[in-house]
Structure 1
Amino acid sequence: MTVKKAVYIGLGCLGVGLGAVGAVVPLLPAFPFLMLAAFCFAKSSERLHTWFIGTKLYKNNLESFVKGKGMTVKTKLRIIAIVTATMAFGFCMMSRVPVGRMILAVVWIFHLIYFAFGIKTIRAPRENS
């Protein structure tokens, strides 16, 4: 195994771990960590990639986005809420840095615009009871 492949596998495992924690902990986003895992496993190991895309964690958080279908309203709102809370904390901590506050505000606005208009909204799949 090459060093590059080992690094990708290590980063993929870290992404899965943090993504799993993020799926449960409200302020830790799962999405970017799971994207990291998907990317790293795709670059390193077909076996790990196949395993990962078969997990419920992947299917619930990434599958529709990766396939280009979009995200559900619930997923979009969860991501927006987490980013807003995180950026609000940074905004409050930058009370003496007005330029930093302006940059955060602009990034936040573009984030909202991207999630509202850049990512397609899909209906949540119905569960059979």
Structure 2
Amino acid sequence: MQGKRILLLMLGWLSLITGIIGIFLPLLPTTPLVLLAAWCFSKSSERFHTWLLGHKLFGPIIRDWQSSDGIPKRSRNRAIFFMWAGMAVSMFIVSRLWATIGLVTVGVAVSIYLLRMPIRTENTEHVEKPKNVEDKPH
């Protein structure tokens, strides 16, 4: 069991670091990698999972995903816009029919998924932080 824990810790940190790099590189996705890191930490280290949930930048992403309240409409629309913009640039640069078909297929599937997600209304409160997460500056 210790080997599995170490493997999940390493995968969690690798995902988080790659996600942070994705903030600056437009074609590297940040949110899925942060969500993967949160899952890995939830299975391997309560300390790192709690830290990630309480992080001022990444915590809200994870709590929104775990919430049944849905995602903000603005976030959904921005995600769809930037995904298609990034794929359009990739299609232009690669200029291969098979790559274009693949990107369009993935883009349509992800767009349908995002459009089917519940939208959080303005009156819906955010999910509260876990009880063991303090509200102190990091």
**TM class, shorter-length:** 0.7 to 0.9
Equivalent residues in 2 for 1:77-96, closer than 5 Å: 77-95=77-95
Counterpart CA distance in 1 for 2:16 and 2:99 is 32
Partner amino acid for 2:106? Answer: V
Q: Structure 1 regions of 5+ residues with no counterpart? A: none
TM-score norm. by structure 2 comes to: 0.72
AA aligned opposite 1:35: L
Is residue 2:98 matched to residue 1:108?
no
AA partner of residue 109 (structure 2):
F
- Higher RCO (C-alpha under 8 Å, 6+ residues apart): 2
C-alpha separation between the residues in 1 aligned to 2:11 and 2:78?
24
Q: How many residues align?
A: 123
Counterpart of 1:120?
118
**Could you tell me how far apart the structure 1 residues matched to 2:54 and 2:121 are?**
21
> 1:20·1:57 contact (CA, 8 Å) conserved in 2?
no
Q: Per-residue displacement from partner, 1:26-57 (whole Å, max 9, x unpaired)?
A: 72432111111111101111222122212222
**For structure 2, which runs of at least 5 residues remain unmatched after alignment?**
127-138
The TM-score with structure 1 as length reference comes to: 0.76
Distance 2:104 2:37 in 1: 29
SS of the equivalent of 1:80 reads helix
Q: Percent identity?
A: 30
